Amino acid sequence: MKSILITYDQAHHEAIIELLDRSGCRGFTGFGTVQGRGSSKGEPHYGTHAWPSLASAIITIVTDDHVDALLDRLKALDEAKPLLGLRAFVWNIERSI
């Protein structure tokens, strides 16, 4: 089991949900809108007067075999719209109930 944290520009939200469905990942936890900025480039997403855009984050726990396909799809989406930020991070799940 792996957990994948996807943070993205909120404009991506519907595309991400659809992408999860297509990849057969049913479960996820959304964080609503969150603030943040990229490590190297891109606009900050603060929801303020200066930086009005906002980001969203989703965490989904999937079986190991799903990870690659999901990440590939996310990468494709990110590359299709370079000006909207999209990042995904994967780590292990030790235990769950």
Partner 1 sequence: MSLYGSAVKRPIMTTLCFVAVVILGLFSLAKLPIDLYPDIDTNTIMVITMYPGASSEDIEQNVTKPLENTLNAVEHLKHITSKSRENTSVITLEFEYGYDIDVLTNDVRDKLDMVESSLPDDCENPIIFKFSTDMIPICLLSVEAKESMPGLYKILDEGLVNPLARVDGVGSVSISGAPKREIHIYCDPNRLEAYGLTVEQISSVIQAENRNVPGGAFDIGSNTYALRVEGEFDSSDQIADLPVGSYGGKVVYLRDVARVDDSLEERTQETYINGEAGAIIIIQKQSGANSVQISDKVMKMLPRLQKNLPSDVKVGVVVDTSDNIRNTIASLEETVLYALLFVMIVVFLFLGRWRATMIIIITIPVSLIASFIYLFATGNTLNIVSLSALSISIGMVVDDAIVVLENVTTHIERGADPKQAAVHGTNEVAISVIASTLTLIAVFFPLTLVTGMTGVLFRQLGWMVTIMMIISTTCALSLTPMLCSQWLRLVRHHGKLYNRLYLPIERVLDRFDDGYANLLRRVVSHRTLTVIICLGIFVGSVFLMRFVGTEFFPTQDNARIGVNLELPIGARVETAREVTCRLDSLWRKKYPEIKVMTYTVGPASSDNTFASLSDNGAHIISMNISLTDPGDRKRGIKEIADGMRSDLDREFPEYKKAQVNVGGGRGMGMGGQSTIDFEIYGYDFTETDSVARQLQAILRGIPGTADITISRSDYQPEYQVDFDREKLSMYGLNLQTAAMYLRNRINGAISSQFREDGEEYDIKVMYDPAHRTTLEDIENIIIYSPSGAGIKVKDLGKVVERFTPPTIERKDRERLVTVSTVVDGAPMSEVVAEAEMKIDEMHLPAGITVGLAGSYEDQQDSFGDLLLLGALIIILVYIVMAAQFESLTYPGIIMTSLLFAFSGVFLILWLTGHTLNVMSMIGAIMLIGIVVKNGIVLIDYISLNRERGMSIRRAVIDGGRSRLRPVVMTTLTTILGMVPMAVGSGQGSEMWRPMGVAVIGGLTFSTILTLLFVPVLYCSFAGRGVKRTRRKLRASNTEFKNPDTAL
**Residues in the site for partner 1, rule: CB under 8 A?**
9-15, 48-54, 80-84
d(CA 37, CA 54): 10
Nearer to partner 1, 32 or 82 (CB): 82
Closest approach of partner 1 to the CB of residue 49, in Å: 6
Closest approach of partner 1 to the CB of residue 97, in Å: 34
Nearer to partner 1, 2 or 81 (CB): 81
Strand, coil or helix: what is 59? strand
Nearer to partner 1, 2 or 47 (CB): 47
Spatial CB neighbours of 74, under 8 Å, sequence gap ≥ 6: 6, 16, 19, 86, 88
Closest approach of partner 1 to the CB of residue 82, in Å: 7
Counted residue by residue, the chain has a size of 97
Spatial CB neighbours of 42, under 8 Å, sequence gap ≥ 6: 83, 85
